[in-house]
Structure 1
């Protein structure tokens, strides 16, 4: 790989001899307009953060039901929800 002799050395590319600080490097420019578009899935993931992902009370109830032999598995419900989830994933894939 050949290094171009017109490329400035010393780490500063913007013409300044001072390296940019991390804060100024990540700060948006005041005059620059930024527009962000989230996909539907990203919106769902973001909104799902409002509900707790882990319900300790429910886990302890299920653990106790398993220990007492009261926990039953409904295979039909599991299969239906698995198929629905797979269908949602397939539908959310961009069409090529």
Structure 2
């Protein structure tokens, strides 16, 4: 199983700080013209930002599930499905080979 965190952070700043920093820098960019520029984000953009924040605040590991498995192991109730493990390993090897073949053909 591969885990890919495809949500990219804005630099090293949390999203709220990045927005605040941009807002503070905007007046400096206006200079002597005195003009006012206004940027409006669509509702889709706002929802996307909310989704990104929700994903960032979601733990990667389900602690309750980990505790449940630990308890099952300590009590001898945890059973490993060897067929599922083997299938997963084979799938991982196939993905690696496919990726290597794709890289070799591009070179």
**TM-score, normalization by structure 1:** 0.45
Bigger relative CO (Cα 8 Å, ≥ 6 apart): 2
TM-score, normalized by length of structure 2?
0.41
Higher-Rg structure is 1
Is the helix fraction higher in 1 or 2?
2
